[in-house]
Amino acid sequence: MDRILVTGGAGYVGSVCCAQLLSRGFSVDVVDDLSTGHLEAVPQGATLHRFDIGDRSALESLLAHKKFDAVFHFAAKALIPQSVINPGPFFDANVASGIAMLEILRRHGIRKFVFSSTAAVYGSPKVTPIPEEHVKEPVNAYGESKLVFEHILKWYAASYGWSVVVFRYFNACGGQRHWGERHDPETHIIPLLLQTASGRREHFEIYGTDYPTPDGTCLRDYVHVLDIAEAHLLALQKMELPGFHAYNIGTGKSHSVKEVWQMAEKLTPMSIRVHQASRRPGDPAVLCASPTKLMQEFGWEPRHSDLEEIIGGAWEWEQAQCESMLAKQAIA
């Protein structure tokens, strides 16, 4: 049985990947300081170690007592607006702490590493769908921190013989009744729309209606987190030889903000009140992945990334959240 160390396994994508690993018979240990993750998100069967990835002594102690075959690295600071106004903590968490982790892993002979990167490394795209070789010009500190760490991993692969797979996510989304997106503050479009539909928010804001797109709103590539998890599992089958390989995880199709809003209204019982707001700095008109490389080399397919399935599952999660809050209020 392979043992996988998952950093950030109490977060949204990390916890889903942990659950999928466990369902396939892997042994899973999670490192998460729970600063943004949630204890209840860690799936039953995974062992949680509560510390920051930059804590060298804690990681050293863990690796002295357990052997791991590979690392899935999800832990990161990821709120893009915050990274623009206060970049320091993003470089500290995503780069400095990451290097501390890598050096402990290297000391213990771990050479298989899967990194959760982001489409933000590309910045404003020159062409769409975006291929992996597209120029990298991040427009925020979050994307820059992820790109810096990609460069570091490339050197580790070349110099130390590591096998590194980097996944550049586009818009991770989706859920089911017992798991889904939960951020504080919430900035993602689908949970914001559904929280408005359930009455937890007064309205949903559309940032920009004058983009050069068919309906004037931004176009984005939405990929179900279960499809992201599947790519990670497939990566484990491709890591026997050293090297650095980067892949986009997206569908190759994009949906506008208005399309997502309309689908949310279709699948929920209430109309969703929206306000139009000005564009946000750094928001490109279109972000759409070319997933061709991932499909050809891994045999991967976005099997769950139909927009109706994505929003339908996320709505199940939102309803469960509302029911839980009502139950807590009744007890109080």
Classify burial at 255, counting beta carbons within 10 Å of its beta carbon; exposed 0-12, middle 13-18, buried 19 or more: buried
* CA distances from residue 239 to 141, 147, 161 in whole angstroms, order as listed: 30, 21, 11
Provide the token pair at 157.
Answer: 């692969």
The count of other CB atoms within 10 Å of the CB of residue 48 is: 17
The 8-class DSSP code of residue 289 comes to B
C-alpha to C-alpha distance for 6 and 96, rounded to whole angstroms: 18
- Closest residue by Cα to residue 184 from 311, 313, 12: 12
Residues forming beta bridges with residue 27, ordered by sequence position: 3
**Residue 211 known to be catalytic:** no
Q: Are 170 and 288 in contact (CB under 8 A)?
A: yes
C-alpha to C-alpha distance for 311 and 316, rounded to whole angstroms: 9
The length of the chain, given as a count of residues? 332
Q: Are 111 and 163 in contact (CB under 8 A)?
A: yes
Provide the token pair at 266.
Answer: 């279709």
The 8-class DSSP code of residue 197 comes to H
Residues forming beta bridges with residue 31, ordered by sequence position: 7, 49
- Closest residue by Cα to residue 298 from 172, 165, 170, 174: 165
CA 5 to chain centre: 17
Which candidate in 122, 142, 156, 211 is catalytic? Answer: 142
Active site positions, annotated: 142
